[in-house]
Amino acid sequence: MILRLDFFYLVLGAMLLMIAVMALRDPHNPKRYSSALFWALYAVVYLAGDWLSPVAAGAVMVVMALIAGFGGVTLGRYGERSPEQRRDSAQRLGHKLLIPALIIPITTMIGSTLLKDVKFDGLFLLDPKNTTLVSLGCGSLFAVATACWLTRATPLQAMRESRRLVDHLGWAVVLPHMLAVLGLLFTEAGMGKAVAHVVTSYINMDVKLVAVAVYCIGMALFTIIMGNGFAAFPVIAGGVGIPVLVGVYHANPAVMAAIGMFSAYCGTLMTPMAANFNIVPAALLELPDKNAVVKIQVATALPLLLANIALLYFLLNM
């Protein structure tokens, strides 16, 4: 391949290293040494990840968690422009401001659909396993270049702005990553078997509606625990869906699978464990309550879970 995912690991590593240096040199940050150490450690994960021994990487993760957990990552000062200045340039640049913002999704789309199979000299242009991520990376680089050209700002200013946003996200940046690690650990420790065992041994599934409800609610609950519907699906489909719904009630497997996965997604909406979708946006949108997005989604997710149970009950034998 010509453009590998590793290239963007180096880009992100360099970006995090610059954020660390800027944090270190910012006297307005009350905890600049621990903040800088936090970002520097994260940079190491990206710059030297392939050479790091697993134990060392584990130690890096624990130290980062301790720094973040005990409030060692704080905000600095960013030389922001006043609202009047921003309104003036908004008026001057107008719709042109949208161009760089739209370059990111458009490049990602083109890359992951049209350029997916393009080869030069027998080499794939984009890393075939990670087309979307690689295209998104290219889109981000194009967008920075266009934005710099349009606003006559320097790439260094773009780095300062990314530091401002990353600092506002703070520990929320690493939470999804650490939750993914916890998910893998849960899998390794045999969590799936334990949950399927508990679900199937204590509930009587002789009534079709109960079996359907256990399956849908089980998907949602397990997703709430793991933060990821993809982790819940094999466990609950293997524990309840296939042996009970298909085995006993002769369900159509396609219906069972489709509605099961959507029940899992109802769980994703209701859990802080799905940090990428729930905690990170709360931080990105500067909401004081980090669980505000989860709380607002519960009122959509619960009725939808009920609807899923009803749909599965009536469509089961289609």
Partner 1 sequence: MNHTVNLWPLLGVAVIILGFALRAHPVLVVIAACAVTGFAAAMDVGHLLAVLGAAFIKTRNLPLILLLPLAAIGLLERYGLKEHAQASIARIKSATTGRLLIVYLAIREITAAFGLTSIGGHPNMVRPLIAPMAEGAAENRYPALTDALRHRIRAMSAATDNVGLFFGEDVFVAFGAIVLMQTILRGEGIEVDPLHIAMWGIPTAVTAFIIHSWRLHRLDAHIARAMMKGQP
- Residues numbered 241 to 280 that lie near partner 1 (CB under 8 A) are 242, 246, 252-255, 257-259, 261-262, 265, 268-269, 272-273, 275-280
Among 4, 31, 32, 177, contact with partner 1 (rule: CB under 8 A)? 177
Q: Which is nearer to partner 1, 74 or 252 (CB)?
A: 252
- Residue 75, token pair as written in the block: 């905000």
Residue 86 makes contact with partner 1 by CB under 8 A: yes
Q: Which is nearer to partner 1, 2 or 178 (CB)?
A: 178
Q: How far apart are CA 318 and CA 305, in angstroms?
A: 20
Closest separation between CB of residue 30 and partner 1, Å? Answer: 18
Residue 315 makes contact with partner 1 by CB under 8 A: yes
Closest separation between CB of residue 213 and partner 1, Å? Answer: 16
Q: Which is nearer to partner 1, 160 or 208 (CB)?
A: 160
Residues binding partner 1: what is the number (CB under 8 A)? 151
Binding range to partner 1, per CB under 8 A, among 27-35, 82-90, 117-125, 204-212: 82-90
Binding range to partner 1, per CB under 8 A, among 10-18, 29-37, 117-125, 207-215: 10-18
Residue 1 makes contact with partner 1 by CB under 8 A: no
Query: Which 3-state string (H, E, C) describes the chain?
Result: CCECHHHHHHHHHHHHHHHHHHHHCCCCCCCHHHHHHHHHHHHHHHHCCCCCCHHHHHHHHHHHHHHHHCCCCCCCCCCCCCHHHHHHHHHHHHHHHHHHHHHHHHHHHHHHHCCCCCEECCEECECHHHHHHHHHHHHHHHHHHHHHHHHCCCHHHHHHHHHHHHHHHHHHHCHHHHHHHHHHHHHHCCHHHHHHHHHHHHCCCCCHHHHHHHHHHHHHHHHHHHCCHHHHHHHHHHHHHHHHHHCCCCCCHHHHHHHHHHHHHHHHHCCCCCHHHHHHHHHHCCCCCCCHHHHHHHHHHHHHHHHHHHHHHHHCCC
Among 2, 14, 125, 178, contact with partner 1 (rule: CB under 8 A)? 178
Using an 8 Å Cβ cutoff, are 220 and 199 in contact?
no
Closest separation between CB of residue 90 and partner 1, Å? Answer: 3
Q: Which is nearer to partner 1, 32 or 272 (CB)?
A: 272
Binding range to partner 1, per CB under 8 A, among 26-34, 117-125, 193-201, 204-212: 193-201
Residue 299 makes contact with partner 1 by CB under 8 A: yes
Q: State which of positions 106-145 bind partner 1 (CB under 8 A).
A: 108-109, 112-113, 130, 132-133, 135-137, 139-140, 143-144
